[in-house]
Amino acid sequence: MCAGALGAQAVKLPPPPSGADPVLSHISAASLRGHLSFIASDLLEGRGTPSRGLDLAAEYIAAQFRRTGLEPAGDDGYYQTAKMLEVEPATSGFELRVVHGERTFQISHTEVTSRLQRALDLTDAPVFKLAPDAQGLANLKPEDVAGKVLLADLPAYATVPRKIRKLFQTVERVHPALTIILTTRTPAEIGAKLVDPEKRSNDGPERLVVHNAELLKWAAALPAGATGATLTLRLPAPVETPVTLKNVIGVLRGSDPVLKDSYILVTAHYDHLGTKTGGNGDRIYNGANDDGSGTVSVVELAAALAKLAPRPKRSIVFMTFFGEEEGVFGSQYYAAHPIFPLARTIANVNLEQVGRTDSTEGPKLSQVTFTGYPYSNLPEIFRTAGETIGVRVLSDERYGDSFFDRSDNISFANVGIPAHTLAVVFDFADYHAVGDEWQKIDYDNMAKVDRMLALGILALARNPEPPKWNVTNPKVENYLKAWKELHPAKP
């Protein structure tokens, strides 16, 4: 007998809505395991953007949409194609030298990840070290770094994502001649190399990532402020290669004569980090939880909801994005080139990291969290669905607010659509590491979460009232403004 069975009272859950049984019974742990064991397999080599593995994943997703009977909704069947540029630094003619007193550091191009979209030439530029805390970021002034190189030390990988975001905001504000980011590893948030030619600018902040242990040790010993060091850089113009990338889109048309012309977006990103460029042992970032789990959940939900007869009242768009790890490129592209009118799109439910339950904070079973929970009434719809299935739908201010603008939902919130990301865990031991593999997923829990999602999506599709931003929450001011621009008041 399992521990805890004695003396426990069964929780009586409300019955699912009429007609939902075929949907709920279709969602299974075995089906999710089958999909994810391919999407996160070594064959797909980490689904980097762009890559052969990413294209294979797109073909698999399209095949599943086709099997389910979704209507293709792209410009090329199920594909919405996007013309992008892959930018690689030129290696010939590169020089990077740091001089401090009698000490000189010569940095090889192999130790540098460039985020510059043009050539740059600096000679003996003064180096200014950024204080590594929030106060140092807040107190930095443009005049402190005018014409100088800003040196930022990021050795603690576990806290890199949040630090990077704050750092980039500061760099954009003070605009140094160049920012050098020092780290022993190159996380995806820094190492991205994709450029949208429609949005490129030569006026943006210039930055290089340098992963040189000796320079990192030297910088760590320096006090914040002017260092007395100088930097010389010869960086040729990068090599640009045109690439075609794909969002994968299928639509389940609604059945109501009026509501069928309104749309719910159910989304996830199908890309990940690709492979390590060097080192021994496992080099593939399989990305099973991040975000293979969200991808296969979109596929499973599409197949389940297609079982309904009649179909849901509103149209439901199932979509997987390229390039989230590079900077939410796929979702930004859709928001700029929508297939369905944004003004008729009532909500975005984005799925991230819904497969693992082994959070660094402890097990997360039968529970999920919406980012930005109090920003709109959308999460409340799913809370009610969770009560039916036995899944707690929670708000988490620590992660919920800080992660709201770090996934694809932000691309839709920025244009006014109530949009949230749902996750089971935010941080787990293999986050952005090669150990995030399909065997570590809790498929029974993921199936339970997906059943809750199916009921919540059905409730959205049946409700004549669309979700609304919370007008009393000051954090939604910009999103509410964008919503009003989408829906101008009638005279």
pLDDT of residue 162: 57
332 with 49: CB under 8 angstroms? no
Q: Does domain 21-86+242-484 have CATH number 3.40.630.10?
A: yes
User: What are the pLDDT tens digits along the chain (491 aa)?
Assistant: 333 322 223 344 455 666 788 899 999 999 999 999 999 999 999 999 999 999 999 999 999 999 999 999 999 999 999 999 988 877 788 999 999 999 999 999 888 877 677 889 999 999 999 987 778 888 899 999 999 999 987 654 334 555 666 777 788 889 899 999 888 765 544 555 788 888 776 555 678 888 888 999 999 899 999 999 999 999 998 888 999 999 999 999 999 999 999 999 999 999 999 998 767 889 999 999 999 999 999 999 999 999 998 999 999 999 999 999 988 999 999 999 999 999 999 999 999 999 999 999 999 999 999 999 999 999 999 999 999 999 999 998 788 888 898 899 999 999 999 999 999 999 999 999 999 999 999 999 999 999 999 999 999 999 999 999 999 999 999 999 999 999 998 65
Nearest of 25, 35, 180, 68 to residue 116 by alpha carbon: 180
Q: What residue ranges of the chain are covered by domains with CATH 3.40.630.10?
A: 21-86+242-484
- Please report the pLDDT score of residue 4 as a whole number: 31
Buried-exposed string 81-99: b where 16+ CB fall within 10 A, e elsewhere: ebebbbbebeeeebebebe
Q: Is the dihedral of CA 138, 142, 143, 147 positive or negative?
A: positive
Q: Are 64 and 303 in contact (CB under 8 A)?
A: yes
Handedness of CA 275, 276, 277, 279 (dihedral sign): negative
Q: What is the pLDDT of residue 277?
A: 74
Residues in the chain, total: 491
**Rounded CA gap, 358 and 401, in Å?**
21
> Where in the chain do CATH 3.50.30.30 domains reside?
90-237
Q: How many CB atoms within 10 Å of residue 199?
A: 11
Q: What is the DSSP string of 44-88?
A: GGGG-SSSHHHHHHHHHHHHHHHHHTPEE-SSBTTEEEEEEEEEE
- 3-state SS string over 255-274? CCCCHHHCEEEEEEECCCCC
pLDDT of residue 134: 73
Q: Is the pTM of this model over 0.85?
A: yes
Fold of the 90-237 domain: Glucose Oxidase; domain 1 (3.50.30)
Return the structure tokens found at 468: 């609304």
Return the SS3 of 145: helix
